[in-house]
């Protein structure tokens, strides 16, 4: 059995998607990051970086419990554990890993910062909005070009790379990007959306009640490292 420490954000959605796709049994343990539960000592023991997602695999290597944090590492771990959703051939596998790294280091941080500056930051951050909007558009175009040359983001096979990137593209409208001028992304997004495991995962995420929209000013200051929490 696997424990998944989670709430609703895209990095967490990735792991719901993967666990459902792999049909592995798991328990969801909610960590309300909007209330600061990621900073509780018992959670820091699981992830010193104080972020979700985290998994605890009670049948880890050697039959012992094993904890994994960082969504990309969790996906690689579950792919290796099951022998699924990553190419077996080394060259193909490293091609996929390169695109996984683009999601982890480019798509996730850029789209996340774009949402932050558009939705949560006080007004007057035009430079930041412009910087992240421009980089987000560049990354959408990169994914479009990739999917024009390859059926899936990782290469010839559907893989964890598709499941890692998909949740970040669900907000493409809010990112100011339309599928009408990204036909390859539209084809890819539609195909993933139709998968049974993806539908099950998104239904589970939708059923989780997050306190994001009701968070108090101090809760927002804590998660965003501002106000009395700022260290600048």
Ligand X SMILES: N[C@@H](CCC(=O)N[C@@H](CS)C(=O)NCC(=O)O)C(=O)O
Binding site for ligand X (CB under 6 A): 9, 11-12, 33, 38, 50-53, 70-71, 223
Q: Which is nearer to ligand X, 6 or 185 (CB)?
A: 6
Q: Which is nearer to ligand X, 53 or 87 (CB)?
A: 53
Q: Which is nearer to ligand X, 142 or 220 (CB)?
A: 220
Q: How far is the CB of 187 from ligand X (least distance, A)?
A: 26
Q: How far is the CB of 36 from ligand X (least distance, A)?
A: 8
- The DSSP H or E segment spanning 108 is helix 108-115
* Cβ atoms < 10 Å from Cβ of 64: 9
Q: Which is nearer to ligand X, 86 or 144 (CB)?
A: 86
- The DSSP H or E segment spanning 55 is strand 54-57
CA 76, CA 107: separation in Å to the nearest integer?
18
User: What's the DSSP call for residue 154?
Assistant: T
- Residue 112 CB-density burial (10 A; 0-12 exposed, 13-18 middle, 19+ buried): middle
- List 3's β-bridge partners, or say none: 27, 56
Q: How far is the CB of 217 from ligand X (least distance, A)?
A: 16
Q: How far is the CB of 136 from ligand X (least distance, A)?
A: 17
């Amino acid at each position: 059995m696997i424990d998944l420490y989670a709430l609703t954000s895209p990095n967490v959605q990735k792991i719901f998607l993967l666990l459902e796709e792999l049909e592995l049994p798991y328990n969801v343990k909610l960590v309300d990051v909007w209330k600061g539960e990621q900073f509780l000592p018992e959670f820091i023991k699981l992830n010193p970086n104080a972020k979700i997602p985290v998994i605890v695999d009670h049948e880890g290597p050697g039959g012992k419990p094993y904890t994994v944090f960082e969504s990309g590492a969790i996906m690689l771990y579950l792919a290796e554990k099951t022998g699924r959703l990553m190419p077996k051939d080394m060259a193909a596998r490293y091609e996929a890993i390169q695109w996984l790294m683009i999601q982890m280091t480019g798509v996730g941080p850029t789209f996340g910062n774009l949402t932050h500056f558009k939705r949560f930051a006080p007004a007057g951050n035009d430079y930041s909005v412009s910087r992240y909007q421009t980089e987000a558009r560049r990354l959408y175009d990169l994914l479009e070009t990739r999917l024009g040359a390859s059926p899936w983001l990782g290469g010839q096979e559907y893989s964890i790379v598709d499941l890692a990137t998909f949740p970040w593209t669900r907000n493409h409208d809010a990112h100011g990007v339309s599928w009408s001028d990204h036909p390859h992304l539209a084809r890819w997004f539609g195909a993933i959306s139709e998968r049974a495991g993806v539908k099950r995962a998104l239904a589970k995420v939708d059923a989780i009640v997050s306190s994001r929209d009701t968070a108090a000013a101090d809760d927002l200051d804590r998660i965003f490292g501002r106000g009395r929490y700022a260290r600048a």
